[in-house]
């Protein structure tokens, strides 16, 4: 999935309204429908996530933040950096 595909999926998950760029994203909408991630909503050009789509959004939200690490040539981690909630490096 591209970041654009993810944005469209999340829009369908959180909003009952048609996507504001609907006329430009019909190919992505078709792909998400075919993949059983979204289904038609109650209004014309509106969509909502299926159970599968909702599970995928939940999975995306549960993805941990990336971690930066300095690694020796032999694969041993020398120092690992991550940003905490207080926005300080550890």
Render pLDDT for 33-57 as a digit per residue (tens, 0 to 9): 999 999 999 999 999 999 999 999 9
Structure-token pair, residue 51: 């159970």
Structure-token pair, residue 56: 């995928």
| Cα three-residue angle 2-6-27, rounded to 5 degrees | 70
Among 11-20, 35-44, 53-62, 71-80, the minimum mean pLDDT is found in: 71-80
Structure-token pair, residue 84: 């905490």
pLDDT band at 90 (very low <50, low <70, confident <90, very high): very low
Q: Write down all domains in the chain, each with its CATH number in brackets.
A: 3-61 (1.10.10.10)
């Amino acid at each position: 999935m591209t970041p654009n595909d993810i944005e469209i999926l999340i829009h369908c998950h959180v909003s009952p309204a048609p996507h504001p760029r609907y006329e430009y994203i019909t190919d992505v909408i078709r792909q998400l429908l075919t993949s059983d991630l979204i289904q038609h909503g109650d209004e014309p050009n509106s969509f909502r996530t299926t159970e599968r789509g909702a599970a995928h959004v939940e999975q995306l939200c549960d993805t941990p933040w990336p971690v930066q690490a300095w690694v020796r040539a032999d694969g041993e981690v020398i120092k690992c950096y991550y940003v905490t909630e207080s926005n300080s490096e550890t």
